[in-house]
A and B are shown apart, each in its own frame.
Chain A
Amino acid sequence: RKEVEQDPGPFNVPEGATVAFNCTYSNSASQSFFWYRQDCRKEPKLLMSVYSSGNEDGRFTAQLNRASQYISLLIRDSKLSDSATYLCAVNRGKLIFGQGTELSVKP
């Protein structure tokens, strides 16, 4: 079993849709949590950190549930430019990434 697992995707949604990504992690020693965005053939870029209290940045909301070892990312009012692969990552002294979920937003 992988240490960090994500929905396999791909997710194909129309513009304006709300889409949710889920990620589970198996190591309870994980200290901090992140969502990254990766465009095709590019490096990952930090989208947002994830806190237990939940945090929001514009159309993006991230949530952490330590008890269930689960993090989520919600994108509201999706745009064409949101099309990318979304990677969750956990830090337990080093960053461990999930396999990523591909999102395709269609007109």
Chain B
Amino acid sequence: GAVVSQHPSWVICKSGTSVKIECRSLDFQATTMFWYRQFPKQSLMLMATSNEGSKATYEQGVEKDKFLINHASLTLSTLTVTSAHPEDSSFYICSARPGGADYNEQFFGPGTRLTVL
């Protein structure tokens, strides 16, 4: 089956630093990748949709200058949390959709747990 990896799986950083999270589709080309955030006991909230080679589309209320998304290739998207603060501590999950697939074929990465001290 299609595999999506995320790196790192967890990260602890100091307030004010930036953290980059990578999302890779290992055995397929992903024209679209999605980034979600999940706080404890809450749902997955879609942050942004990224299409390879174009700017990401951010959901309402998500600061594009704080959460930088780059989808430079068909197998890699990165999310950079800039100037992280404790309230950014969360579980960040990406998903990838193969080209031409419907939404049944959206494959999730294992997530990255970010803790900002």
Contacts and interface: CB of A to CB of B under 8 A. Distances in A.
Interface of A: 4, 31-32, 34, 41-46, 49, 87, 91, 94-100
B93 interface: yes
Contacts, number: 42
A44 B113 CA distance: 14
B110 A87 contact: no
Contacts of B102: 32
B111 A42 contact: yes
B42 interface: yes
Given A32-B103, A42-B110, A94 B44 contact: no
A99 B39 CA distance: 10
Q: Is the interface of A mostly helix, strand, loop or mixed?
A: strand
A46 B95 CA distance: 12
Given A95-B46, A99-B42, A99-B43, A43 B103 contact: no
B111 A43 contact: yes
A98 B106 contact: no
Contacts of B54: none
Contacts of A96: 46
A44 B46 CA distance: 13
